[in-house]
Amino acid sequence: MTGISRDARYIRDNVIEHNRFFGESLPLIASENVISPLQREMLNSDFNGRYAEGLPGHRYYQGNEFVDRVEEKGMELAKKLFGCSFADLRPISGTVANLAVLFALTKPGETITTPALSDGAHISTAKFGAVGVRGLKTANYPFDAERMTLDVDGTAKMLREIRPGLALFGMSLFLFPAPLKELSDVFAETGCTVWYDGAHVLGLIAGKQFQDPLREGAHIISGSTHKTFPGPNHGIILANPKDEGLGKALAKGVFPGVTSNHHLHEMAALCIALDEMRRFGRQYARQIVLNSKALAESLYERGFDVLAADYGFTESHALAVNVEKQGGGSECALALEKANIVVNKNLLPSDTSPVHPSGLRLGTQEVTHLGMKKGEMDEIASFFERLLLKKEDPLSVSRDVRRFKKKYVRLKYCYGEGYPAYKYERFFS
């Protein structure tokens, strides 16, 4: 290749190698996914370098006629898909969506209620995350570590005692539905605004396979759009506002609160993803949950300590494995990477060190997107057994992983089914 510098070539070559690595690996990180070719086309459009501050029809820049049409269609699709009256596609990530909610509904010094990090909450709910940026205090719900879900009675008692203005539910290690229905009477009694962080399970909600937060007691859902929802790396806020003021506050929280331009190419790709989930979402989400349960059961039968075994392991895309006896989450995640299996270490209840936790978090949404089903989950579990229990050479396991993965590199459940998921578009010969 000629015409580009050595540094540019270095960057490009490493991106190509990244694509090759994932094309030959088992991607099991619960917060990632791949996107359809039609979404990729939107990301590579002229929307990429344009600005559209404000809402459709009320912009601060000219040249937004077609942007407005796309965004209005996306809001319409989101409202239909999630059954809500408010949809904002402008947050540029899940954490920015969370910041927008906090900006809209809280003031520095206030206390909100949240799950604890060690129980699976997202870092944006911590003092060193978005909650701390807003200057808030937090009170953490009691947690049932055996069931891997909130302690309903303890949470009800806590809400009655604190009476927060904003109560946050939703997790980063999200195995089972949040007990919104069980707590709905307490929400009404205390008058709190109920906010559900659906980043991890947004696609399962869209596919009617997990829970329906807006019908179970939540007023607001925030989320990222690239996990079980297989869209671009972006964010979204959905709501059925209790009153007109809530919708206005949320919109203002997004802009001018925490965003300026909202990455129009990603917004357009998100609009495509919303339509793809309308078409394919139920089938996709159903298979994700079936695969998660199958993988958890197979790992458990092979001798792994999969959490919540007495309660079906999981109802979502994710499962949690205690690998303390195998060396801990950090050591196991590194060993798996050498064998072309990509997971992340994860805090489990009672862990104190995020650097050296005892757990692994696995997610099946990306391998499901590539067409894998329950039978393939057993094969994946066998790789874990060979590497972490039988202590086989990672390079030997890697050869078999790469051979196995060759059959699963093309997308399902989207427009352009059969497109190679890890294809690198070459613009230079």
* Residue-range domain boundaries for the chain: 40-274
Q: Which fold has domain 40-274?
A: Aspartate Aminotransferase; domain 2 (3.40.640)
- pLDDT at position 93 is 97
- pLDDT at position 347 is 92
Give the burial class of 378: count Cβ atoms within 10 A of its Cβ; 0-12 exposed, 13-18 middle, 19 or more buried: middle
Q: Report the C-alpha gap between 132 and 73 in whole angstroms.
A: 35
Q: Is the dihedral of CA 60, 63, 65, 67 positive or negative?
A: negative
Enumerate the β-bridge partners of residue 345.
Answer: 360
- pLDDT at position 429 is 55
Structure tokens at 312: 């079906």
pLDDT tens digits for range 228-278: 999 999 999 999 987 789 999 999 999 999 999 999 999 999 999 999 999
User: What does pTM read for this prediction?
Assistant: 0.96
Cβ pair 225, 271 in contact under 8 A? no
- pLDDT at position 176 is 97
Strand 111-114: give its sheet, edge to edge: 86-88, 235-239, 220-224, 193-197, 166-169, 111-114, 137-140
Listed as ranges, residues in the chain with pLDDT below 70 are 1-2, 428-429
**How many angstroms separate the Cα of 166 from the Cα of each of 109, 159, 216, 222, 256?**
13, 10, 16, 14, 21
Nearest partner of 341 among 308, 364, 311, judged by Cα: 364
pLDDT tens digits for range 355-399: 999 999 999 999 999 999 999 999 999 999 999 999 999 999 999
Q: Could you tell me which residues come within 8 angstroms of residue 164 by beta carbon, excluding any fewer than 6 positions away?
A: 111, 112, 113, 139, 190, 192
Q: Report the C-alpha gap between 298 and 413 in whole angstroms.
A: 25
Q: Report the C-alpha gap between 194 and 170 in whole angstroms.
A: 11
Give the burial class of 282: count Cβ atoms within 10 A of its Cβ; 0-12 exposed, 13-18 middle, 19 or more buried: middle
Q: At 278, which amino acid appears?
A: R
**How many angstroms separate the Cα of 16 from the Cα of each of 12, 366, 424?**
6, 19, 7
Structure tokens at 348: 């489990």
Cβ pair 74, 275 in contact under 8 A? no
